Every structure is written in structure tokens, then in C-alpha cells.
Amino acid sequence: MAIVSRGFRGKRASDPRLPPGQYLEGGFPVLSAGPTPRADLGTWTFSITGSGTTRASWTWAELRALPADDIVKDIHCVTKWTKLDSSWRGVSLDTLLEAVEIAPEEQFALAHCDGGYTTNVPLADLRGGKAWIAYGYDGAPLRPEHGGPARLLIPHLYFWKSAKWVRSIDLGPSDTYGFWEKLGYHAYGDPWKEQRYWGD
């Protein structure tokens, strides 16, 4: 059974950056399915896989040595809070995907994380400056409860797609549902279309 920590409620406000059904949140609620993993940075790796093989892999030191972006984006949780202008630091998925060969039919990705969590996303949503492996938040290392040492950051989708404690991304030709998607969450999760659950 999934253990989901409780979020916080905020005040509803009118803002053109606020998707339908959302309210503004000043803090940063912690919501997780299961306990918070603690990573050993000495053995930590991030990999891109596909067809049963590892195509590229980076140690923590290697990932941190790559060119990094400072990112300021609004984030939107499916539990209806929105945080404006959240500040992150991380490596663009564009940079990481350049290290591997991708077959034309491989148009989908499944993120795998410590603790067994998975989430699916079209490959197109990881490209074009839309996604990062984030390891910093608000000028400090990303804390474990927020997905540290590194999480997937896809701010244009509902925040469950920004998988905490990410360790690999598997590329493939079909859209394979992840943890929450199998339990009824929307396969894509566009906050502006309120794609929260199956059928939305």
C-alpha cells in the first residue's frame, strides 16, 4: 500500500500563470509514495537505457561536471497547489540524450527511481529545453525529501512526472505506464488541460 504524505493548503488566487483548478502555494509541500531513500553519492549513478542495455551512465561527479542550467519555473502538483518561480539547478536532458543513439521508433521514456517509483513521458517532452536532471533547489543541494540528490524536472507537466530520486531513463517504442499512471493518473498530465486522471 502506498504511503502518501500530506500536503499543505494554500489560498486561492487569480493569476494568469495559475492553471485551472490550482491554488497558489508559498511553501514547498512534501508528497511522496513511500519512505525517503538516502543515496550514497560514492556509488550513485544516472543511466540512459534502452532495449535491455545501458547506453550511457554518469557517476555523481561526472554528472556534476557537465554544463548546468539555472532554471526558474512554475510547478504544478496534481493535488492542486502551484508554486511560482521555483529555482533549480541541473543538467538538461538535451545534454544527456546527446550521449546516446536513439532509434526513430523510440519515442517514449520511462523514468526509474530509488524506491521503485516509475513514471512515463513522451521523449519529445524531455527534449528542446523542457526537462532536466535537477540536483539543486533555491541555491542549495536538493534535499532528500524533495527528491535529492537528483530528480527529474519537467515543469510543464503535473509534478508527479518530475520523478524524485531518479536513477535511469529507459527509452522504448511504446508508452508504458508508471506507478501513478497504473493507479488511475493521466498518462500525460498537462496541468492546463487538467489531465489529472484517466478520462480527463
pLDDT digits (tens, 9 = 90+) for 147-189: 999 999 999 999 999 999 999 999 999 999 999 999 999 999 9
Whether 11 has a pLDDT exceeding 50, the answer reads: no
Angstrom distance (rounded) from CA 196 to CA 200:
6
pLDDT digits (tens, 9 = 90+) for 49-79: 999 999 999 999 999 999 999 999 999 999 9
Angstrom distance (rounded) from CA 200 to CA 191:
11
What local confidence, expressed as pLDDT, does residue 31 receive? Answer: 76
Question: What is the residue whose three cell numbers read 503535473?
Answer: 158
**Residue 6's pLDDT band (cuts 50, 70, 90):** very low
Q: Which three cell numbers stand for residue 65?
A: 561536471
What local confidence, expressed as pLDDT, does residue 12 receive? Answer: 46
Largest CA distance in the chain: 48
Mean pLDDT of 11-26: 83
Are the C-beta atoms of residues 81 and 22 closer than 8 Å to each other?
Answer: yes
